[in-house]
Structure 1
Amino acid sequence: MYRQASRFLIRSLGGSRRRTAAAPRAFSTDVLAAPAEDAAFVEAWKKVAPNMEPPKTPLAFMKPRPPTPSSIPSKLTLNFVLPYQSEISNKEVDMVIIPATTGQMGVLPGHVATIAELKPGLLTVHEGSEVTKYFVSSGFAFIHANSFADIVAVEAVPVDHIDPSLVQKGLADFTQKLSSASTDLEKAEAQIGVDIHSALNAALSG
């Protein structure tokens, strides 16, 4: 239902906010690093073409990933990325609260491994007494057993960059469209707009 969320979110922003993208980082996982090559594949290749070097497989390009620690770390390592930039990269924080489709979910160090779908709502990053708030349109959160969390959002913006007047105008426009919609498609598009702008309004008021 939220496939058009990013389009409605962009309309409600007070201006362009594109920044230089940070260097990408591979997602972490609680699985230990794979071997540098697939032994079974190499053996099978040598039987077919013994005089040729086997081609490299994806395993050859995988970087070692942090293993699951024996004790719970004091910090959660957070990566927060968008399609066009890395918002937060490898940063140690105390907690992150994400707007999952099942409800608000707080993630602390040592959280059980989870994959959660995001819905339009408020994402907050807690680092000591500092709290950074983002509005996200949709995406996924990958929480790993080694106290790493990778959050991938289709669109996101700091709450203080959102223009409240545009949010109110958008909510009124889509509410009117919903009441006058005559086809299922028009109703679905209008409902998405209402849901997104309602979530934006709640994020601003919260």
Structure 2
Amino acid sequence: MAEEKLQRLEVVTPEKKTYSQDIRFVVLPGTEGELGILPEHAPLVTSLKTGLVRVQHEGKTLKIAVSGGFAEVRNSRVTVLANAAEREDQIDVQRAQAAKERAEQRLASGGSDIDVVRAEAALKRALNRLKAAGQA
């Protein structure tokens, strides 16, 4: 039987390496849409939006919540350089829910001192974390 081709996926933030493993397939949240990457994919560099990196390997899917960044694909290696990244099993659901509620309250208050763009980004990050954890 032919050996299954794998590629190395590394998800790195300024603080730590969140994930590093040989995998079969990954879906990245590109700014222009989702990107599916198989081993031996053509080289590419792309920016990422806040969203889920979905890793498929050995019949299982792992979700990693990322908050922006970049991805590089080269030589059957995918490197994600994210501003923030959390694996689904590492997300503090109560903390993410509290962040969601704070952001919603800020947006609902409508005060002139509210940075709407920042509050919307915080809400998007919290919702993404909850989605990765299976709570949204």
Q: Quick check: TM above 0.5?
A: yes
Aligned to 1:197: 126
1:127-173 deviation line (CA, Å, top 9, x unaligned): 222433221112110012x2221111122111122122322222122
Q: Give the RMSD, CA atoms, in angstroms.
A: 2.3
Structure 1 residue 108: deviation in Å? 0.5
Higher Cα Rg, which structure: 1
TM normalised by structure 2 equals 0.80
Partner Cα distance (2:37, 2:115) in 1: 37
Partner of 2:105: helix, strand, or coil?
helix
Aligned to 1:76: 7
Structure 2: segments with no counterpart, 5+ residues: none
Report the structure, 1 or 2, having the larger strand content: 2
Aligned to 2:62: 132
The structure 2 residue matched to 1:170, chosen from 89, 93, 99, is: 99
Aligned to 1:94: 24
The worse-fitting range, judged by mean Cα deviation, of 164-173 and 182-191 is: 182-191
Structure 1: segments with no counterpart, 5+ residues: 1-72
Partner of 2:40: helix, strand, or coil?
coil
Structure 1 residue 181: deviation in Å? 3.1
Structure 1 residue 184: deviation in Å? 7.4
What count of residue pairs does the alignment treat as equivalent? 132
1:177-196 deviation line (CA, Å, top 9, x unaligned): 11223337621221111221
Partner Cα distance (2:73, 2:114) in 1: 35
Partner Cα distance (1:188, 1:143) in 2: 31
Partner of 1:178: helix, strand, or coil?
helix
Aligned to 1:153: 82
